[in-house]
Structure 1
Amino acid sequence: MAPEKVRLTGEKATLLATLYGRALDARSPDPILGDDLAADVVERIDHDFTKTGMNAALAVSVAIRARFIDRWVAEFLATHPEATVLHLGCGLDTRVHRLDPPPTVRWYDVDYPDVIELRRRLFPERPGHRLIGSSVTELRWLEQVPARAPVLVVAEGLLYYLDPGEGRALIRAIVERFPGGQFVFDAVSPLGLRTQKLNRPVRKADAHLVWGIDGPGELLAIHPRLRCLSAVSAFDIEGFDRLPAPHRVAARIAGLLPAVKRAAVFYRLGF
């Protein structure tokens, strides 16, 4: 089978960096995430991944962040075995394969049509798993999703690329469509926006972060049903001890500065 030629630009191109980060972790002697499928998919793509800006040190960060979100997703599915999962801006993430939910879970991977077509060619089919090719902010795609069950919305690496008004409209539409559920996602603060050029994969892709969220209050103002269940700084998640020494020291110093500590946060919202 000939390798898949992939030519993506802007925020779409960052999915190649995170895929490569998970592959580097899987190939390491002591993997954090152990995403063997990501490593396999990288081998089947015709692309110079060294140009993504991803390296072994950044791959540790990619892996520990993905593992953190995976744990929140697993917790929800353990208590809601018939839930609907909306994996928004899924890119080439292998989360549905890593977590292997039971077929009673309806899992929807949603991304731009060209990204979804790439997923169809690269990933195996599985029961209960559906693909929707659409911009997540073109809300008509929601009509394809039954609204009876509790919903888990997973949006890793997505919200900061959305126009703030469209992002709020997306969250509001989901809250009003489903009987209840959770959102799990990462976000950056306004300071995180101002320092985005320090993010090598974002810079290499010529992508631009545009939505900075200034704490839980800004999110809860989107809809009265929303409540904040968790807000965890990226500097507080488990695994930073696995970073190379210089990066580990830099992360510890940054974590002592309140504004910097709030620059990247993982949120879990209930409704």
Structure 2
Amino acid sequence: MEKIRPLLAEVPATLLVPLWARAEEQKRSDPLVRDPRSAEILRALDFDFSRFSGGWMSQLGCCIRTVILDREVQRFLDAHPGSTVINLGCGLDTRVSRLSGYTCWYDLDLPEVIALRSHFFTETEQRHMIASSVLDSGWMERIMAPGPVLIIAEGLFMYFSEEEVTSLLDALARYFPKAVLLVEMLAPLLVGRNRMHDVVKNASFKWTLSDSRDFSRLNSRLHYDCEWSYFDMARRRWRYLRLIHGIGWVRRNMNNRIVRLHFE
């Protein structure tokens, strides 16, 4: 079968990193996440994934964030039957196939990403794909969400400026006034220093927050619930970093995290 070549610009091309990370994890006898679908998709793409081979921190971090998000999304769905999930910047994420209990699931990304995604996923009455920039609020009018809403922003906000993040949050608050958000936050040390990253070299890291409670500064209706540090999972696999991850400066500046927020 002829392989599919992903024709993506710098930021959209970063979707290949978590796909590779999850596929690579399937080679382990004790994978953090079981996702054979990602391995199947990877094999169907005409791309030299060996360029990521040295990125052990990204590989581990992507799998940890997958575990955290899978767990927290499923908890939300179990606690709120009839929910709608909106997955912003979905890339080639396979979560929609792994979890259950939602009424509707919307995967949203740029048109070229959705075109690629359409090779591997089909829409159903419950599963939908929207081709749009996240920053174009017109897509929000297409969401039918009579019940609770959960919004996922994984590997996304770090590529926006603070002004863009604020504008997006304002629009989300208007359209989904009681939504819960699960947001990945970048390690502050990497902002403006993407060349320090072990895999992502071309797409610029523009923004993060050192203190997740500062989200309320961006939107007064947005409230912090809790967060989960990547360093607190799979500690034996963090190699030398496990020796220093407890140091306050290291945790604040070198550590990605998943933050749970809600509008009220």
Normalising by structure 2, we get a TM-score of 0.91
Match of 1:140 among 130, 138, 141: 138
SS in 1 for 2:81: coil
Where in structure 2 are there 5+ consecutive unaligned residues? none
Counterpart residue type for residue 149 of structure 1: G
Counterpart position of 2:208? 212
User: Is 1:97 aligned with 2:71?
Assistant: no
Q: How does 1:194-233 map to 2 (within 5 A)?
A: 194-203=192-201, 206-233=202-229
Where in structure 1 are there 5+ consecutive unaligned residues? none
Counterpart position of 2:175? 177
Counterpart residue type for residue 16 of structure 1: L
State the identity as a percent: 33
Q: Distance in 2 between matches of 1:112 and 1:32?
A: 29
User: Is 1:85 aligned with 2:85?
Assistant: yes
Counterpart position of 2:251? 261
Relative to structure 2, which stretch is displaced further, 172-181 or 72-81?
172-181
Q: Distance in 1 between matches of 2:243 and 2:109?
A: 35
Q: Distance in 1 between matches of 2:114 and 2:62?
A: 22
Q: How far off is 1:52 after superposition?
A: 3.5
Counterpart residue type for residue 4 of structure 2: E
Relative to structure 2, which stretch is displaced further, 129-138 or 192-201?
192-201
Normalising by structure 1, we get a TM-score of 0.89
Does the CA-based 8 Å contact 2:55-2:198 persist in structure 1?
Answer: no
User: Is 1:5 aligned with 2:5?
Assistant: yes
RMSD of the TM alignment (CA)?
1.9
Aligned residues, how many?
261
CA-to-aligned-CA distance 1:139-164 (integer Å, 9 cap, x gap):
11111112432211101111101121
Q: Distance in 2 between matches of 1:188 and 1:61?
A: 11
Q: Distance in 2 between matches of 1:54 and 1:88?
A: 28
Change (3 A) 1:75 1:156: same
